[in-house]
Amino acid sequence: MSSPPRSGRGARIGRRSLLALALAVLTVTAGCTLPFFGPEPDSFDATYDYRFGIDVYGNLTDVTVRAPLPVGPNGTPLDAEVLLPDGAVRDRDDQQVFDARIVDTEFGPMLELTADRVEVVPRYFATVEEDGVGRQVEISADEYDPENPDHRTVDFRSASVSVTIRGEYPIDTRTPVGSEPVFHNLSDRTVVECPTPTTDGATCYAYTGPYYVSYDADPETRVQTFAAFEGYNEWFAGGWTGNSYRDSVSVNVTGPQDSWVDAEGELLTGNGNYRD
């Protein structure tokens, strides 16, 4: 089920922003129809996005983290060549933070991150104005003034990985469990109120799922980590529109860890505009 990463990411971000705006407008105008806008036949598209991120607020040693991968009727749509072409997860400066691979566990395939040590060095920034435009510049610890409102410190380290792959149109965004890749094919999801903006036909579910975290750290060290998987149908009908589902899990822990923990999960289905 694997597919090559989609090219033209910058253009896609613009289209996704327009789609989000269109869905917000649709939320206000639900029940109205625009029959004079028909979809362009060649514009139908389907894609999946996977994102993983981790924020570390202190030094860690002997690190292992396992985050869920989406699994559908045909297995996971992700493989190591697509998700981890160089076997690494990097920070915002493109420095490797973790070795990474896909492993099989009792809970299905997972993204595994390992590191002997993750070091967090505080960084300092100042807001400067040039030609009437403010921008952030990095400064030294000696230049940093905690009393200066234009100065700020970043006391954590972030690393992430993301990939977009093509799907087969149409993706079942209304009832993805059992027909589309999701993190955990659980039956004990609870229906909850959806956040805004979502469209009237959207349904949201809450659940808990397994997530593995193991490392040595100081008692006050915090780690926040998440994984998200989204499926989109898109087409052009007087503007880009479409529908989606999103499965996401997150974990926030403090101090040393060495076990499976319950991640907070949320599944959003049926969000957007449908042609039927």
pLDDT digits (tens, 9 = 90+) for 132-153: 898 999 999 999 999 999 999 9
* Summary mean pLDDT of the chain: 88
What's the confidence (pLDDT) of residue 5?
43
Which range marks the domain in which residue 195 is found? 9-118+156-272
Residue 195's pLDDT is 86
User: Are both 131 and 162 inside the same structural domain?
Assistant: no
Same domain, 179 and 131: no
**Separation between Cα atoms, residue 153 and residue 248, nearest integer Å:** 29
Q: What percent of the chain has pLDDT over 90?
A: 75
Q: Let me know if residue 3 belongs to a domain.
A: no
Please report which confidence band the pLDDT of residue 27 belongs to, taking 50, 70 and 90 as the band edges.
Answer: very low
Residues 146 and 96 both lie in one domain:
no
CA 32 to chain centroid? 32
- Amino acid 41: pLDDT: 66
- 45 in the same domain as 84: yes
Q: Do 110 and 246 belong together in one domain? A: yes
Q: Is the pLDDT of residue 46 over 50?
A: yes
Lowest-pLDDT range, 73-87, 222-236, 240-254? 73-87
Residue 263 has pLDDT above 80, yes or no: yes
Say if 222 falls within a structural domain. yes
Over the stretch 148-167, which tens digit does the pLDDT of each residue have?
A: 999 999 999 999 999 999 99
The residue type of 168 is: E
Are both 134 and 147 inside the same structural domain?
A: yes
Per-residue confidence band for 270, with pLDDT thresholds at 50, 70 and 90: very high
Number of domains making up the chain? 2
In a domain, 151, yes or no: yes
Residue 132's pLDDT is 83
Residue finishing a domain among 155, 177, 212: 155
- The pLDDT of residue 166: 95
Is residue 4 a part of any domain in this protein? no
| Rounded distance between C-alpha atoms, residue 205 and residue 216, angstroms | 34
